[in-house]
């Protein structure tokens, strides 16, 4: 049985704690239902017996200790992380417990606690996209990558915001108990897709929605018609504008040309299909690239890799 400890502290992000916790609990449920012993012993630990999360829910916790053998230490983030970084006793406990653990992981801004203890110096790491600028300024020795959902560097994992902790925990279950178990847990939790760590933190379509809401419905239509006519004239007609007016207003709203936005949306859709195992030629056709070569050039330009290598990796 693998012993896992999830750290808590005042104003910790609730889902950073409960998301991974539920993944491991669900894996235990499946093992027990199969007549097998549970795979994980999970404890939420803290310096205080009761911790109030930033959501207002109070957690009852076990004491910080180092007597038990530990497989995995998980350090969540939250609004209280900056104050936690100023607690030298807590930081020293994290350093010591990380040395005891087979693997150490952070969720969201919990990476700041690992970085404060020097555990990320010289390593690749990720944190919530909204804290990247602050993180880079405070921890210049860390090789911060703002885009991935989670990153492994040696025996240290870091993950992006909130729900990425679920993706990270699912990757641990897959490593420990196999892909079938990880997929069973993902289905049980109604997770839409068991995302690989290299996937972007948030979708290109969501980025586009940060602009003028006039084009939200158009983006939905584009997603449903990737293999159809997405010419400037067709898009302008859908938006009830002239092509010239549409191009100007769209760029003002999204910061990119319609052609660039369509390429990004197609590449994001292609990534999802390749991650599910669809063949490269089928993916190129369904996403409207016209040819594998066109898709390959787009992948190289946007992602720095080709579709076949991407499919093999993820």
For 90-139, the pLDDT digits (tens) are 999 999 999 999 999 999 999 999 999 999 999 999 999 889 899 999 99
DSSP letter string over 7-33? E--TT--HHHHHHHHHHHHHHHHHHHH
* 192 has pLDDT over 80: no
pLDDT tens per residue across span 213-251 = 778 888 889 988 999 999 999 999 999 999 999 999 999
Instruction: Copy the structure tokens of residue 184.
Output: 């069973």
- Confidence class for position 75, pLDDT limits 50, 70, 90: very high
Strand order in the sheet with 156-159: 62-63, 40-46, 2-7, 72-75, 103-106, 156-159, 150-153
Q: At what angle do helices 14-33 and 164-177 cross, to 10 degrees?
A: 30
Q: What is the mean pLDDT of residues 141-160?
A: 91
- Whole-model pTM over 0.75: no
* 199 has pLDDT over 80: no
pLDDT for the residue numbered 208:
64
* 201 has pLDDT over 60: no
Q: How far apart are CA 231 and CA 228, in angstroms?
A: 9
pLDDT tens per residue across span 51-70 = 999 999 999 999 999 989 99
pLDDT for the residue numbered 56:
96
Higher pLDDT pick, 167 / 111? 111
pLDDT tens per residue across span 248-301 = 999 998 888 999 999 989 998 998 899 888 999 999 999 999 999 999 999 888
Q: What is the mean pLDDT of residues 171-180?
A: 93
Instruction: Copy the structure tokens of residue 66.
Output: 């180092």
pLDDT for the residue numbered 41:
97
- Confidence class for position 212, pLDDT limits 50, 70, 90: low
Residue pair 14/53 in contact by the 8 Å Cβ criterion? yes
Residue pair 122/143 in contact by the 8 Å Cβ criterion? yes
pLDDT for the residue numbered 204:
58
* 314 has pLDDT over 70: no
pLDDT for the residue numbered 195:
55
DSSP-H helix ranges across 50-131: 81-85, 88-100, 111-116
Q: Which residues sit opposite 45 in a β-bridge?
A: 7, 62
User: To the nearest whole number, what is the mean pLDDT of the chain?
Assistant: 90
CA 183 to chain centre: 17
């Amino acid at each position: 049985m693998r012993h896992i400890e999830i750290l808590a502290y005042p104003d910790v992000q609730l889902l950073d704690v409960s998301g991974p916790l539920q993944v491991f609990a669900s894996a235990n449920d499946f093992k027990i239902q199969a007549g097998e012993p549970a795979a994980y012993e999970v404890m939420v630990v803290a310096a205080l017996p009761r911790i109030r999360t930033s959501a207002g829910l109070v957690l009852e916790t076990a004491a910080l200790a180092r007597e038990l053998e530990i497989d995995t230490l998980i350090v969540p983030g939250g609004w209280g992380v900056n104050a936690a970084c100023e607690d030298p006793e807590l930081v020293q406990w994290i350093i010591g417990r990380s040395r005891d653990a087979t693997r150490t992981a952070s969720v969201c801004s919990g990476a700041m606690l690992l970085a404060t203890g020097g555990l990320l110096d010289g390593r690749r790491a990720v944190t919530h996209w909204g804290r990247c600028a602050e993180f880079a300024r405070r921890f210049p020795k860390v090789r911060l990558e703002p885009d991935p959902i989670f990153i492994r560097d040696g025996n240290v994992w870091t993950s992006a915001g909130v729900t990425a902790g679920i993706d990270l925990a699912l990757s641990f279950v897959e490593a420990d108990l196999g892909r079938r178990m990880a997929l069973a847990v993902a289905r049980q939790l109604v997770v839409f897709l068991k995302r690989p760590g290299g996937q972007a933190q948030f979708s290109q379509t969501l980025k586009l929605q940060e602009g003028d809401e006039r084009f939200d419905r158009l983006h939905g239509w584009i997603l449903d018609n990737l293999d159809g006519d997405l010419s400037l004239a067709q898009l302008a007609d859908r938006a009830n504008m002239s092509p010239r007016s549409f191009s100007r207003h769209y760029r003002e709203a999204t910061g990119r040309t319609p052609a660039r936005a369509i390429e990004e949306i197609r590449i994001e859709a292609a990534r999802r299909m390749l991650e599910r195992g669809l063949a490269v030629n089928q993916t190129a056709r369904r996403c409207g690239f016209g040819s594998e070569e066109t898709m390959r050039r787009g992948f190289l330009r946007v992602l720095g890799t080709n579709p076949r290598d991407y499919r093999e990796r993820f």
